[in-house]
Amino acid sequence: METNYQLIDLDAVVEQLIKNLKTKTILFNGDMGIGKTTLIKTLVKKLGSNDEVSSPTFSIVNEYELQDDKIFHFDLYRIKNLDEAYNLGIEDYLDSGHWILIEWPNIIKPILNNNFDIINLKLENENSRKLTIQNEY
């Protein structure tokens, strides 16, 4: 899936995105300020959570409740190495079977199995983003 969107189109884009996901582990790539957390807020809402979504920049992980599931939202920007990720218990989260949404995922890619989706965001212009999804499984 590849699409250009503006913030006013975000609900429709996320509905289409959900239809194209192959896994419950999603990696988000894009420059600082591109809108990863904004996209995740809409995704969490569309998956059925009523929880308030915020960036886990300082907490590293936020948990959101679904009716019969959970969503773990990671921001690994501040993680310096894989040992720090292990100290967080990252492998327990990854093996949980719940939704895993990871911003800045490169530090943990070596420990991921090949069962995840990658969402890449790029700035097209001031008001538009380009979203592409890759399925790795």
Predicted pLDDT of residue 7: 73
Percent of the chain with pLDDT over 70: 99
Please check whether residue 87 is in contact with residue 1, taking contact to mean a CB–CB distance below 8 angstroms.
no
pLDDT tens, position by position, 1-43: 777 777 778 899 999 999 999 999 999 999 999 999 999 999 9
Q: What is the mean pLDDT of the segment spanning 47-65? A: 93
Predicted pLDDT of residue 77: 95
The residues with which 102 forms a beta bridge, in sequence order, are: 27, 74
Q: Is the pLDDT of residue 65 over 80?
A: yes
Q: What is the mean pLDDT of the segment spanning 105-120? A: 91
Average pLDDT of the chain is 92
CATH of segment(s) 12-128 = 3.40.50.300
Classify 117 in phi/psi space as left (phi over 0), alpha (psi -120 to 50) or beta. Answer: beta
Sign of the dihedral defined by the CA atoms of residues 25, 127, 123, 76, in that order: negative
Q: What is the mean pLDDT of the segment spanning 67-72? A: 97
Residue ranges of the domains in the chain? 12-128
Confidence of residue 137 (pLDDT cuts 50, 70, 90): low
